[in-house]
Amino acid sequence: MQTPTPETPASPAISHSNESAYVTQNLYEAAFLFARGFALAGVDRKDLRKVALVFKPALTLHESVLEFYNGGTIGALDYADAYRSLKDLVFQRL
């Protein structure tokens, strides 16, 4: 599993297209995508009370988002590892 990095991208667009980054504030959704192998582009910390996780564009990312919201499955250990990694990244002090 890849290790997330605390990069902050320059104003990513919130979009579902294959050409732009995908942004979510849902840590559970992000963990699902991260466990599926989608690359994290960075963390958007513009709002002091909310953090957004930014994923690099990928061909099947939108389909995986829909799968998450429609009860898609993933290995429990993979999901737990991804969740802990992203949670640590979100709550680390800058």
Q: Provide DSSP, 32-64.
A: HHHHTTPPEEEEE--STT--EEEE---TTHHHH
pLDDT in tens, 19-67: 689 999 999 999 999 999 999 999 998 888 889 999 999 999 999 999 9
Overall average pLDDT of the 1-14 stretch: 46
Q: What is residue 7's DSSP assignment?
A: -
Global model pTM greater than 0.85: no
Strand partners, 53: 24, 43
Cα(46)–Cα(69) distance, rounded to whole angstroms? 26
User: How many residues belong to the chain?
Assistant: 94
